[in-house]
Amino acid sequence: MNFTTQTMNTITDNMNTTTQTINRIRELTYDVVIMGGGFAGNAQARHLLLNIPNIKIAIIDPRSPERTVKDLTVGESTVEIAADFLMKELGLYEYLIENHAPKHGLSFHWSKNPNQTNTIDDYYHVWTNTIPPTEAFQLNRAKLEQDLLQMNKDMGATFYRGRVLDFDLTSKDELHAIKVKLEDDKIELKAKHLIDASGRRFLIGKKTDNLIFDVEKLYGINTGSSWVHVKGIDRTLMDDGYNPDTSLASRYYTTNHWFGHGHWIWMLPINKGGNELSIGVVYHQNVIPTKDINTSDKFKAFLKANHTLLYNIVESGELVDFRNLPRLAHKSKKVISEDNWYVLGDAAQMLDPFYSPGLTLAALAVESVTESIRAKLSQEPDAEKKQNFYNRFLVNNVEAYNRIYQKHENHLGHASAMSWRTYTEDMLWFGILVPMYIGKWFLDFDFISQYQRITNFIFFGKNSVMTDFYGLLDKVVERKLNVGIMDFTRNDQLLFGYGPVQFFDDYLKNTKFEPLHCNVFKGIKGTFFFLILMFLKLRFKAFGILGAISPRSIFRTVQLLALYLYVAIGEQIYLLKMRNVPDNTVIDNMRKDFQNYQYQPKLKSWSEGVKV
């Protein structure tokens, strides 16, 4: 009897152990495993949690959830797309206002005399003149990543503080296996979808030979970056905050850019009211070798010699940290795989932090990845088509960005040429890219097919619009021409009161935020029209009337006019489809509800039964 009882107890214990093991294995299988708990990984996790009910997500990162200044990185600043993504798509508007510094646009500075850079008056300037039409923020990345991780854990994501030892990438819908080293244990996770947001560890990139570092394939971009985090600085060295005749915005809270031969420097606040700055240089290695700028002493010596004002600002505070990345630029052959793996953030690409593209490209990728995963988990018949389609868009978009940074080292230090460059690139940004994002047009198959033809015309090939434009600027620099300053913040430099920071459709004022509700065609059409005027003005300023009416100039004008008409036809088709669609469904329903309004001047009694 005792033997039987003991045997039964042993069997029961074994069964319980087996059941626990089975449950543990089951619990370690996830819909999505994200390798990396930085910005991209946590943004992706939150977007998935907000858009796919009951999704099961694991995040793996070797760092402590409590981040430090060592976690500050290139990419602390947002522009319109990244800010909109954080505010609207991730629901972080109030959080950002309460915890991160505002961003009042961009300001650009070039020294008047390279041998005299002691004060702000020693520079030519394009100052931001007003608060931007959409809010943006200067981010403390360490705090943002720490807070996002906690939000994700509160929403049900599982966090493993550990290091990925290895993983198996399987084909199609087979589960991926990820081996993880925790502090005192080793575990294996299973994932239907595997995301690499590990930054420069490049976990998937290395395993799949997915990365491109070759300078020639990056169109000549060979950059590095060094930067410091300083606190307690004297901000009055740059600006005393009193500019009644020139600006409605804070100059301190703009992202300030300082230019010179073969380099540019960012300066931006990373805390609200804390006098803390990130100051960093992006240098082209054919002009500034990494060995000359890869320590804090060398970096400060570089500032002292070339931008004494910035050196004095750094010296006025306390140096907290210094970082150097000798190889900044890279991109990926694939971002979304038909085998259910994905690369995000720095693990996918970094080209140049000018215009803060890292967070913008991450925002576009996160939404594309979420839609791909949602379609796969829902077993939609076109799920694989979406993966392939969104991958082609993301890769093509990075290629277009790559072209934007070509020949930077030729133009950065030439104030006249670079001001034309920022003006023109902002035309494309506000006229095409921002409305495309706001209206979620980048998720629409029909539009993106047409859009990629347009980007090919703008960016790719020897006869593309931007290749021609950058070639013109090369001649301006080579011949040491002064073609004037183009201030992208002003509306008085082309015709009809146009300026790059302009929206052709009223999607902001009338909240056309639902997918495909804003008229992106109007923005594309208007941008092409003003590109014609920009090219004519530049050729006239550089080469006189003969340059403006040259065969090359006429050819480009006819090309852009033809594209203008092509897009105008597309706009009319779009307007016909949208003729009975309200700008915003919620607002339309509110107006319908209001039709039943009746004024009722009555108050319910509240004093009965109350003791006097």
Q: Residue written as tokens 């970094």?
A: 350
Give the pLDDT score at 610. Answer: 85
Q: Give the separation between CA 305 and CA 325, rounded to whole angstroms.
A: 21
Given this model, what pLDDT does residue 25 score? Answer: 47
365 and 394 Cβ atoms separated by less than 8 Å: yes
CB-CB contact of 177 with 189 (8 Å): yes
Using CA atoms, how far apart are residues 16 and 18, in angstroms rounded to an integer? 5
Q: How far is CA 58 from CA 49, 163, 180, in A?
A: 11, 13, 12
| DSSP codes of every residue in 346-375 | GGT-B--STT-HHHHHHHHHHHHHHHHHHH
Query: pLDDT, tens digit, for every residue of 270-317?
Result: 888 878 999 999 999 999 999 999 999 999 999 999 999 999 999 999
Residue 282, both tokens: 């992006």
408/420 Cα distance (integer angstroms): 13
Give all domains of the chain, ordered by start, each with its CATH number: 16-69+144-212+332-407 (3.50.50.60), 101-138+222-328 (3.30.9.100), 414-584 (no CATH)
Pick the closest to residue 472 from 527, 550, 398 (CA basis): 550
Strand, helix or coil at 103?
strand
What pLDDT does residue 71 have? 63
Burial of 3 (0-12, 13-18, 19+ CB in 10 A): exposed
Stated pTM of the model: 0.92
Instruction: Look up tokens 């033997």; give the residue.
Output: 3
SS3 9: helix
User: Tell me, what amino acid is at 538?
Assistant: L
Cα separation of 343 and 35, whole Å?
Answer: 10
pLDDT in the model for residue 70: 65
Q: How far, in Å, CA of 43 to CA of 50, rounded? A: 11
What residues of the chain score a pLDDT lower than 50?
1-3, 7-8, 10-12, 15, 17-23, 25-26
Nearest to 259 by CA among 225, 306, 327: 306
User: Tokens standing for 99?
Assistant: 């915890």
- Two structure tokens written together for 84: 């909109």
Q: What does the pLDDT read at residue 294?
A: 97
Inter-CA distances, 316 with 228, 235, 305, 321, 555, Å: 13, 9, 17, 15, 54
For residue 6, what pLDDT is reported? 55
At residue 64, the pLDDT reads 87
